[in-house]
Structure formats: C-alpha cells, structure tokens
C-alpha cells in the first residue's frame, strides 16, 4: 500500500496494486470562492495528481462535511458513478452534485474496496458529535490509521489499534483558546507510541494559512517535528511525500 500526500494541506491518495482511494480531495489552488468569508485558503500550486490517477480512483472518502474536506469543484472532476464513503450531511450535498453511488460510513462499519479494507471508528472529541469519523485502511497485515482532527492515546488503547503509518495533526489548534480542533506534536507523539507506529504523515498542515472569519477565533501552537525524529519516527509533511507499507 502506498500513501501519497498530494497537496500541502490534507488531501491523500492511497493505492494498492488493484485499487486507489482518494481522501478529502482539494485539487486546485483556491479552497472557496472569495465570497466565502468564513473560511478560505489559497496556494500557488495545484494538487500533485494526474488525470490518470483520477481515472484509477475506485473510492472517494470524505471524512468530514466541512469546507476544507468537502471541495465541490474538485469532486466534480470525478465520474458521478464513483463510489463514495462519507457522513450523512455530505451524502445530501453529494446527491445535489449528481453523485449516486454513496454509502454513509459510521463507527463500526467495515467496507472492502478490492484488496483494501476500510474500518471506521468514532472521531475524537468534539468531532464525534459533528458527523466525522476516524478510520483504518488495511491491506493484509499492513494498517494506515487516519484521524483528521483530535485523538488521545486512551482511545487508541481502548480499541487496541496498531498501525504502520498514521495520518494525524501536529499543530495544536484551539477555538477561543479552549476547545481543541487538532493535536499538538507532543500529544501526537503519545498517540504514535500507543499505535507502535514509526511513520507519521501530517494532516492539516500549517493551519495559520487558513484565512477567513474563523481564523480570528483560533489559537495555534507551535509544531515540533524534531520530536518525532528524536524518537525514531519518520515525519512526512511536504506535498508529494510518499510512504509505502
């Protein structure tokens, strides 16, 4: 299984010999029209994905219904018959876009995509109340673990999870300085230790680049990538980074 970070933020391409899954695709330079005052983000380069890669996608996985996970313009580049796993609010929006092969993914559900298995878990607080989920992608004995926002070692321990690679946040973000929206590097290190995981691919990179009204309510901590290398863990942040497990 190969995992590719196809942009500088949080879009992912997972492929095996038989299948390809894309996670939260944002493929162009602008997240939302300028008229969207709540949240926006822009960059100089499009996502690192080819039309051939798009044509190979057998499943789109949308982990949350929010604008920085559900990018309408990018989704329109896929065949409307493409199989999609997502949450209930996203299902409604997808049907309005013309997609018709959709299943709602909830904690406890397991779905086979060829030689890959997706196993859903509840999301970390507070996102467990906000129509999101964490999940594993499994190929034989190899496991990719994905949590797009907040997690805790106790949740990993309770579920008995282990992983060869994990996609997790590393810059703590709190709304109004109180409610956590992502993990610090220190908190994520503890999660990786519980997972017995030696590869981290960084989710939600550089949250300070996200603009709009929401940015005025966010307190962002400092990332410490040396923390991972000092503990024998390889960290992958840049667009185009790849891990094969």
Q: How far apart are CA 199 and CA 164, in angstroms?
A: 7
| Strand ranges of the sheet holding 242-244, from the earlier edge strand across to the other edge | 102-104, 83-86, 59-61, 20-23, 12-15, 2-5, 242-244
pTM of the shown model: 0.95
Number of Cβ within 10 Å of residue 213's Cβ equals 11
In this predicted model, what pLDDT tens digit does every residue of 185-242 receive, in sequence order? 999 999 999 999 999 999 999 999 988 888 899 999 999 999 999 999 999 999 999 9
Element holding 181 (H helix, E strand): strand 179-182
- The pLDDT score that the predictor gives to residue 35 is 60
Q: Which residue has the tokens 């290190």?
A: 189
In the chain, where the domains are located:
2-244
208 within 8 A of 220, measured Cβ to Cβ: yes
In the prediction, which pLDDT does 227 show? 98
| CATH class, range 2-244 | alpha beta
Stretches in the chain below the pLDDT threshold 70: 33-35
What strands lie across the sheet with 173-175, from one edge to the other?
Answer: 179-182, 173-175, 218-220
Q: What angle do CA 142, 162, 91 make, to 5 degrees?
A: 75
Beta bridge partners, 135, equal 120, 146
* Token pair 């500088």 in the structure block, residue: 8
């Amino acid at each position: 299984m190969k995992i590719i970070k196809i942009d500088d933020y949080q879009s992912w391409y997972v492929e095996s010999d038989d299948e390809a899954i894309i996670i939260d695709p944002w493929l162009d330079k602008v997240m939302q029209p300028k008229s969207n005052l709540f949240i926006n983000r822009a960059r100089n380069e499009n996502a690192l994905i080819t039309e051939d890669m798009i044509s190979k996608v057998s499943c789109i996985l949308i982990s949350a219904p929010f604008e920085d996970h559900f990018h309408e313009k990018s989704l329109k580049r896929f065949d409307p018959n493409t199989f999609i796993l997502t949450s209930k609010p996203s299902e409604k929006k997808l049907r309005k876009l013309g997609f018709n092969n959709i299943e709602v993914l909830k904690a406890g559900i397991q779905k086979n995509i060829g030689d890959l298995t997706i196993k859903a878990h509840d999301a970390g607080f507070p996102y467990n109340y906000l129509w999101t989920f964490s999940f594993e992608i499994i190929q034989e004995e190899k496991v990719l673990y994905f949590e797009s926002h907040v997690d805790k070692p106790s949740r990993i321990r309770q579920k008995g999870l282990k992983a060869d690679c994990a996609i997790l946040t590393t810059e703590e973000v709190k709304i109004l300085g109180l409610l956590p929206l992502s993990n610090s590097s220190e908190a994520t290190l503890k999660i990786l230790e519980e997972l017995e995981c030696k590869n981290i691919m960084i989710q939600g990179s550089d949250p300070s680049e996200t603009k709009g009204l929401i940015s005025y309510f966010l307190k962002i901590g400092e990332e410490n990538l040396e923390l991972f290398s000092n503990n024998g863990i390889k960290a992958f942040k840049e667009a185009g980074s790849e891990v094969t497990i």
